[in-house]
Each structure stands twice: as structure tokens, then as C-alpha cells.
Structure 1
Amino acid sequence: MTTPLEDELQQPDEPGNASAATTDPPRNIRNLVRYVGPGLIMAAAIVGSGELIATTKTGAQGGMTLLWFIVVGCVIKVFVQVELGRYAISEGRTTLEALNTVPGPRLRVNWILWVWVVMMICTIGQLGGIVGGVGQSLAMTFPITGDYIHAVSLPEEGELRRYVELRDKNPDDPLVEAIRRRIDRAGAAGWEALENLEAGRPIDPEGGDPYTWDDRIWAGVAAAITSVFLFFGRYNLIQNFSITLVGLFTFLTIGNVISLQFTQEFSLTSDEVLRGLQFRLADEDGGWAAWVFAISAFGLIGVGATELISYPYWCLERGYARYCGPRDDTSDWEKRARGWMRVMRFDAFGSMVCYTIATVCFFLMGVAVLHRRGLDPSGMRMVSTLGEAYVPVFGSYAKWLFLTGAISVLYSTFLVANASNARMFADGAIQLRLIPKSDVTSGSNKTVIGLSALLPLLCFALYLVGLDPVLLIAIGGLTQTIMLGALAAAALYFRFVAIDRRLRPTRAWDLFLILSAGSLVAFSICAFGIAAAQFI
């Protein structure tokens, strides 16, 4: 049995000048494009918790000041990503097997793998938040009891406070009218909430977020479907359909950001953008809370730590190492290896350009609409609040356009991430010597199949108990940011100690790699400090 991802990646070898077991690398762009793939899979996984949720919330909380942070978070990781891929292609080893060779303290396995174990436990919670987002989106689209829609119908307190502030200080501000229309859409309950706020009473007399069932029922359905499809390997159509909708939703978001520039209330000036590209912390509007969440989001935006680890697995499945053939001392092997590493770099950097543009657009959307209106996606309002960013442009159609895109984006992330995590968990069990060594890049591996069925249900269980999905995603992002420092150290070890000397890159590449690794280590230390302050 093979998975559709494996079927997509393992295309028949083209004839080459090498032996039957190897394939010469493509010599022109047209043929090179035929061999990309791992980066596209990563992009499908990235847009979910990283871009739609973490990036948009970072913009909503911190404002334009953190634009530079978003750009840096997307660009600097690709050098470490390529170095991990280079070592995998050269040695034919999985990522965890390679990481286990890095020097340092060992307790059955080395220290990096224990950091990975902690991160992966938290990643299950992160995916619990994502499947919760799927459930919220479906509950708004296809209500069962209607309890979820009723619970999120009231405007947020932050938005109401923003309305009162602007109405009293500058009633002609176009944003006053924009928020008033939002209150109108909530009907009598919206104006009652405003009256309660001005009277110093809770905006919702019942207090707190109720425990709703519609979103949990739909989240359970999504998790069960994912479990079945991953177990039987029958999700090719859904995966291709999801990736298509992810692309369409991303273009919809880009169009939304461009269209916002033609509105009076939500346009962004060039001065604001330039100010956002200056290296500063969150301004007074966001404060410390915005910076803390941004550090958590750093592990998710662009290529996160889990994507960095899983990327070499997909490179191996795509056949890059197989096309090179077993390493030997011949010049033919060196030529093939350099050629396929060029393909891998093209794949990595091409996907980096795509997800950087998408990430910046999600961030600008969060700044232009949510930050200005005092909205902050969290808890059971995560999806409903994110949808508000599309209302100024798409009006009454925004709900359906956003929900269709959100379901596709979040579910695609949930699907791909669980497929990747099953491989990594199986490989981790091998490195810990809990199970015999086997090919974990094969969809027929029984351990991979079993974990593929189990992991989606574990993720759903965490959402079912009522934990805040954004909090789950933030904790997962924080541990991923910590893991980035360990991966940076490993990348430096592979480049300067372990890699075949014939495959050494240029000095300019080494400089960028060192700068990238140093930055990741610095952010990792910040994340560890935040985790220590919050949870220890």
C-alpha cells in the first residue's frame, strides 16, 4: 500500500546517462520544474496554523511594527532547510537518524532528539487547535444545533471599546462606521452588548464562552475522516482538491489585501509599511503580549521546525537521493549529487518565495482590519474573528468565501501534518530503539499506517476537552521556535564536519548559513526564556 503523497512524489525515473538505478539531473528549467514537489507539500502545510492563524493574529495584536519580523521569519530558515536536505541527499538518511549523529549529551539518543520529543508532544496540541478551527468553520457553514453561531454572534469586547474610543474622540473616523455596521449585523444583541459595556457591565450577561457542541462534532468528523483516509491511503483526490483550494484561497487573500488599499478605512500607507520594516519591537498598541505571541509564531511562519524536519523525508520520497545512487568516490556520483541538490535548492527557494508573499499578505490583512478594529482571534471566536478581515472587501459574500477557504486551508494542514508526523514518530521510535529499523519513508510501513490513523484522533481529543485552540497553537509554536536553535546547530555540524567535502557550497552560502543559524539560535533562546517565565 502506498500513500498518494508517495505516489505523487515517486514518478517514474527518466532515462539518463547513469546506471538504471540512478538518474541524471535535469539540465534546463522546464525539466527541472517536473521534479519539484517537497516544497509544495510543505507550502500546503504551512498556510494553515502559520499563515492563516499565527501570522494574522500577530498582525492583529502587534500592528505594523512587526512586519520585519514576519519577513525575517520566512527568509532565514531556508538556508538551514537546504543544509538538512543536502545531508539527506548525500547520505540517504532520514532527518532524525541524521540528527542522532550530532555530538552532545546522550541518554539512549542524543539531546536534539529529546528536544524533538517535547516539541512533537506539543505539536499534537497544535494540530488539535487546527482541527478545532476546521470544526468552527464547518459549524458556521453547516450548523447542527446552532449553538456555536449563537455563541459567537456578539461583537468582541475589544472591538466595542475601539468603537466607543473613536466615536467619542473622532466621530468622523471612517472606522466608526465600519464597526457600527458590524454591531448592526449582530442585531439587538450587538447593541445590548455595547450598552452593557458603557454601563460597566459584562457584555455577555451569561459570562464566558459556553461549551458548544457544533464545532466539536464537526471537528470529530474531520478527525475521523482524516484517520480513515490516512489508514487506507485513499486521500489522493481530497489532497489534490485541498491543495488547489489552498492556492485559490491564498490568491483570494492577496486580492483582498490589494483591494483594502482602495478603501478609506483600511488602506495602508507607504510610511506605515516602511515603519514596519524597521527593526523594532511591538509598539504600545500591542505591547509585551504581542511580542510573546510573535516569538511563538516565529516557529510556525514560513517553514516551521516540523517542516524543516519533515522536508528531507519528502526529498527522499521524491527520489533525490535514489537518483544520485549510493555515495562513491567517482566523479559521476559527485556530478549527479550536485545536480540533484540544485533541484532541491530550486524547490526550497521557489516555495520560500511563494509562502513569503502569502505570509506577508495574511499579516497585512491582520493589521489593516483586525488591529485597527481592536479584534483579536482567540478561543471559540478564532475563525469568526479571522473571517472579519474579508468583510470590508467582499461584504455579504465574505462569510462563504472565507469559510470555504478556511476549511480547505486548515484541513489541508491537518492532513499533511499528520501524514508527516506519522513518519517522524515512527522514525523517532526507531532511533529510540523501541521498534526495529524499517523504511519510514514508505507508506506501506505498518507503524506509519497505525500512527496515521491514531494521531488525528489524539489531536481531536485535546480540542474536545475545551482548550483554547489559539493557546494550543501558541504553545506548539513556542516549542518549535526552541527546536529551531537545535536544528541550526545540527545544520552547522552537517555543513562543516559531516558533509562530503566534494559537496561543499560557496563561501557566500556559508556566510548566509551562519547568519541564518545564529538568528535561529537567538530566537530559540528568547523562546526558551518565555517558556521558562510562563510555565516554570
Structure 2
Amino acid sequence: MESQQEKSALDPSVGSEIEEAINAPTNFGGILKRLGPGLIIAGSIVGSGELIATTKTGAQAGIALLWLIIVGCLIKVFVQIELGRYSISRGETTLQALNHVPGPRFGVLKNPNQQAPNWILWFWLIMSLCTIGQLGGIVGGVGQALALTVPIKGDYRQAIQYPSEKEFVHYLEVEEELKSEEGSLASLSPEERERYLRGHAKLKQRIEALQEEGQMILQKIRNEESLTDENGTSLLEPQTWDDKIWAGVIAVMTAFLLYFGRYNLIEHLSTILVVSFTFVTIGNVFSLQTSDIWSISGAEIMRGLSFGIPEATGGMNPLITALAAFGIIGVGATELIAYPYWCLEKGYARFTGPHSEDDSWAQRAKGWMRVMKIDAFASMCIYTFATLAFYLMGVAVLHKEGLDPDGMRMVSTLAEAYVPVFGAYAKWLFLAGAIAVLYSTFLVANAANARIFSDGLRFFGIVDERKPEALRNWIKAMSFILPLLCLAVFLTGANPVRLVLIAGTMQAIMLPMLGIAAIYLRYTRIDSRLTPGKLWDLMLFLSCLGLLLAGGFGVYKQLFA
């Protein structure tokens, strides 16, 4: 017979009425054993947020948006804990909690006794569909890394030897500006000019290495001709199969692992590799500080903390990229939603016991909330440190060389950030780390999404919430389907970086909604014995205000700027 603990692992909505109540540990060792949900979150967010979006923001904006990256990591933890507080006290999932928020409700349900989903759940559904695109970008990144490491046909490795069309166009623009000493180059500071010229020299070497082909492509661009050969095949964005084959292998393998529940070993191994790669990245950043070329001065750090906003240049808008990154760096909207699910599975609500007026229940609840706070703040320290490392690496190397990770060259460009320190070994070191980081994110995110999506289907009347076995069956089905949907999105040929940033933008919009929900739950549904103090309330309001400003400004810039 299936144990209650196994049921909980399959069904995160199982309430707190199972297992007898247990007092929370108070000593360091006991608390350490009960940590976990935050560490799962920290291990899963390094992929798309830190490795891709944060590094890309550093490459585009330079040091100017350091303050936004720090705020993006620190500001969300108060909402995270507040959502966790409610789940522990009531034994409800995040989506159950969000559906309590008043406002418009839409939908026709079969069960007349069931409330239609509210406006937050409808937006969550839209955001979740975009998240499939984000994971499509991630599985594409894994495919790119494997195509470089273990080529099958070698077509992908050959294709990325060519600079992108954007890089060719940029090369010609800089060449013209160098001849006339006019244009944007003339208005740059000496430091920025040196950065431009360093990146230009490196790009020139790549184009010259192509010999006649490189000159032919430049001539086509000058003549505004189509960049295709006589067969109509794109010269710079050809159809490649190695990255797609490997992405397919990864997606199918993940689907089977999640369906049969055999993913724990790989998840633990990936987590170890993620931690190792993050420490390598941190070491890389410190090593870069010993170089005159790549080091970041104290004055630059202070400039990055001065709340400045860089201007859009060269077809890049670093603020838009940063706001998209804001939605997924640190704890993104999807992680805020997932965190209470992991808290429920860890047993915090079960150990607290069903809600009761007894003083013993309140004491247990406070104890487990203390453990949850330590868990959340510990994970915040981990992912903040990791995020800063990836951002500063993007600033120190990619920004100074004028490189921008994008499209089919995303992985190969990111690898350049490790070259100054690790030299010839940088490529292999990065590829191994990228595979571990991105795949760990892909695996854990799909495992979480299978649970959250299935839980969400209850509120839209697709899953009968009166039948627990139906929910468990949906979780298994979604575990198999979601990785394949992510693969399908990647196979459409969509830009992996763009997929990640679109999802990040949607998450940035979702963040203030979660903040509103956290405040509503705090003041209307939390047991008065568990309410925090005034200082905590102030930080919660500031957190929600920051999420509202970031989300609102992000929408404005996307629609009107």
C-alpha cells in the first residue's frame, strides 16, 4: 500500500492532516537536517537566470546595473517567506492560496460548488505557457553545449565559426566610424572606446580567418543582398542538426526519468555539479581581478551601485534585458510559486499539524516557520552570491570585448568569459558546467511544473479535485509531456535567449501580483498568533513596492519605449 509520504511526493496538495505533529528543531544540527526547499530552489535557478540572463545583462549593460541585480536577488525573499508562512499554517498549495485573492473570476466549471479561477490564476496560466518556452531555450542550450562537446555530424560546430549577421553589420559600422572618427564612437569615453576597439579587433580576426567567404559576406551586406548561397541556404544561420538531436535526446530522457520517478540520482549529481561550477565561476571572477585588463575597479563597483541606467546602443537595450532578467534572477515568479510546494513536500505543514486554536499548535507553527525562514535566507545568500559572480563575469570579459551571447551562438559566446583565466581549458570547463547547470534547471523545473500544472488544472475544472488519484495520474502524465513540449518549442527555431527573456518578462509582470497576494494573505487569512512584527511588515511592503515598480516599468518599456 502506498505510504502517506509517497502520496505527498506525488500530490503536493495533500494537507497537514497526515503524520503526527512534530516540534521543530531548535539546535543547529537539527535545523540543518530540516533545510531543503530553499536549496532546491537555489540549485534550480542558476541555469536560465544566472548563466544566461544575468551574464547577458552584464555583457550589454556593463557595471551600470549592478544595483538592479542585487535588488533583484534581495527584494523577493520577503514575499517568498510570506507565501511559505501561509502554506505552513493552512497546508494549502500556492495556487490554492492565490485563488483566495478577491477580484474577477472567469470560467465555467462542471462542479457547481467550485469557485472559478481568479484573475491571478489566469495570468499564472499565461505565464506558465511562456515558461515552457523558457525551458525550451534551456534544453536548446544543453543541446548546443553537447553539440560542441560531442559532435555527431559536426554541422553546429562548423556553423558557429561564422559571426552572426548582427556582428558583421556592427563590424562594418565601426570600420566606417574609424575612418571618419565620427558617430557614436567619437562620443565614447576613453574607457568605452578601448572596449569597443578591443572587441572590434577580435571580431576582425574572426572575419579575416574566413578569408574569401568573410569578404563575400561583407560585400553582400554592403550591397544589401540576401545572405544566402545559390541554393537559398542561409550563410550565417544554417539549419543544424547536432544541437537539435542532442536536445531531443535530453528531452526524451528527462520525460522517462520524470515519468518513472527515477530522477533523484541525476538530480543530486547535477546539484553537485552546479555547486562546483558556481564555485569555479566565483573563482574565475576573483582571478579576473588580478588582471589589469579584466579587473573591475572599486570606482566601477561604486558606479554600479549608483542607481544609474545605461542607454541603448548598438541595437541593444540593456535595461529591457535587465528587467527581463529581474523576473528570473534570484527567486523568480515561478520559484516563488514553487517554494511552498517544496515546503509542503518537506513536511513543514504536516509536522505543524492541522490548524487549531491550541497554543501547542501555534508554538509548533512558529517553530517550523523559523526553520523555513532560515532555509529561505540561506538560499538567498547562496543565489545572491552566485548571481553576482555571473553578472560580474559578464561585465569583466564579455562587456569589455563587446560580446553579446545570443541565438545559436549563445553557449559559445558565454564560454569566452572563462578564456582569460582558464585559457585552452576554458571551453571544456564551461561546456561541462553549462551542461550540468542547464540540465539541472531543466530537470528540476519540469518536475516542479508537473506538480504545479496538475494542481492548477483543478481550478480550471479539468482535474476533479474530489478524486486524488486523478491528480496523481495527471502529475505523471505532465511529467512526460512537459519536457517534450519544451523540445517542440526549441525545434521551431526560436532564439533560446529570446525565449528565456520573454519568460523573464512575464515573470516580472507576475511578481507584483504575487506581492499583492502575499499582503492580502498576511492581513486576512494568517492566524493572528503567527503574524510578524512591524519591521517585517515594512520590509514586505517595500518588497512588494519594488516588485510593482519593476513589473510596471517593464511593461511600459516593452509596450511604449
Task: Give the TM-score of the pair, scaled to structure 1.
Answer: 0.90
Within a 5 Å distance, the mapping from 1:369-518 to structure 2 comes to 369-437=397-465, 445-518=472-545
The answer to whether 1:132 aligns with 2:140 is yes
User: Are 1:106 and 2:105 an aligned pair?
Assistant: yes
Match of 2:153 in 1: 145
Q: Residue 246 of structure 2 corresponds to which residue in structure 1?
A: 218
Aligned counterparts of 1:223 and 1:432: Cα–Cα separation in 2: 27
Deviation at 1:421, TM superposition (A): 0.6
Matched, 1:117 2:125: yes
Cα distance change on mapping 1:200 and 1:211 into 2, 3 Å: closer
Partner of 2:286: 258
Counterpart AA for 2:342: W
Question: What is the match of residue 57 of structure 1?
Answer: 56
Q: Deviation digits for residues 321-371 of structure 1, max 9, x if unmatched?
A: 001011111111111100000000000010001100100110111111111
- Do the aligned partners of residues 288 and 406 (structure 1) sit closer, same or farther apart at CA in structure 2, a change above 3 Å counting? closer
Gap regions ≥5 residues in structure 2: 13-17, 107-115, 182-189, 230-234
- The within-5 A match list for 1:330-345 is 330-345=358-373
Q: Aligned equivalents of 1:211 and 1:199: distance in 2?
A: 20
- How far has the Cα of 1:465 moved from its partner? 1.2
Question: Which range is displaced more, 339-348 or 193-202?
Answer: 193-202
| Partner of residue 87, structure 2 | 88
* Whole-Å separation in 1 of the counterparts to 2:282 and 2:467: 40
Q: Once the 2 structures are TM-superposed, how far is the Cα of residue 237 of structure 1 from its aligned partner?
A: 1.2
Distance change >3 Å, CA 200–CA 216, structure 1 → 2:
closer
Change in Cα spacing, 1:227 to 1:187, as seen in structure 2 (3 Å) is farther
1:32 maps to which residue? 31
> Residues 515-526 of structure 1: matches in 2 within 5 Å?
515-526=542-553
Instruction: State the 1:527 CA deviation.
Output: 2.6
Q: Which residue of 1 aligns with 2:330?
A: 302
TM-score normalized by structure 2? 0.87
Cα offset for 1:430? 0.7
Cα 1:81–1:243 change in 2 (3 A) is same
Contact 1:40 1:351 (8 Å CA) reproduced: yes
What do the CA deviations read for 1:253-293 (whole angstroms, capped 9, x no partner)? 00111111112221111111110011121246578711111
Q: 1:469 to 1:438 in 2, by over 3 A?
A: farther
Residue 194 of structure 1 deviates from its aligned partner by 7.5
Please give the alpha-carbon distance, in whole angstroms, between the structure 2 residues aligned to 1:509 and 1:193. 60
1:68-108 deviation per Cα after TM superposition (whole angstroms, max 9, x unaligned): 00000000000000000000000000000111011111112
Q: Identify if the C-alpha distance between structure 1 residues 166 and 65 changes in structure 2 by more than 3 Å, giving closer, same or farther.
A: farther
Moved over 3 A (4+): 1-8, 158-187, 190-208, 283-288, 530-534
Shifted more, 394-403 versus 162-171: the winner is: 162-171
Q: Structure 2 CA distance, aligned partners of 1:395 and 1:432? A: 53
Distance 1:155 1:392, change over 3 A: farther
Unaligned runs of 5+ in 1: 11-18
**Identity across the alignment (%):** 52
Q: Contact 1:68–1:278 at 8 Å: present in 2 too?
A: yes
Give the superposition deviation at 1:532.
Answer: 3.7
Contact 2:195 2:401 in 1 (8 A): no
Number of aligned residue pairs: 525
Distance across 1 between alignment mates of 2:428 and 2:173: 26
1:14 corresponds to which residue?
Answer: none
SS of 2:493's partner is coil
- The alpha-carbon distance between structure 1 residues 20 and 494, as it changes in their structure 2 partners (threshold 3 A), is closer
For the structure 1 residues 210 and 4, does the alpha-carbon distance in structure 2 shift closer, same or farther, using more than 3 Å as the test? farther
Question: Contact (CA 8 Å) 1:62, 1:286: kept in 2 or not?
Answer: no
SS in 2 for 1:491: helix
SS in structure 1 opposite 2:92? coil
- Whole-angstrom distance in 2 between the partners of 1:97 and 1:321: 15
* Displacement after TM superposition at 1:137 (Å): 0.4
The answer to whether the Cα contact below 8 Å between 1:95 and 1:310 also exists between their aligned partners in 2 is yes
The counterpart of 1:327, out of the listed 341, 355, 360, is: 355
Is the 8 Å Cα contact of residues 282 and 288 (structure 1) preserved in structure 2? no
Deviates most, 45-54 or 160-169 = 160-169
1:216-272 CA-partner distances (Å, limit 9, x unpaired)? 000000000000000000111111110000000000100111111112221111111
- Aligned 1:223-262 pairs, distance under 5 A: 223-262=251-290
The answer to which of 206-215 and 79-88 deviates more is: 206-215
Q: Which amino acid aligns with 2:446?
A: N
**Structure-1 residue corresponding to 2:47:** 48
In the TM superposition, what is the alpha-carbon distance from 1:6 to its structure 2 partner? 7.5
Residues 254 and 358, structure 1, Cα contact 8 Å, conserved in 2: yes
Report the Cα distance in structure 2 between the residues aligned to 1:103 and 1:532, rounded to whole angstroms.
27
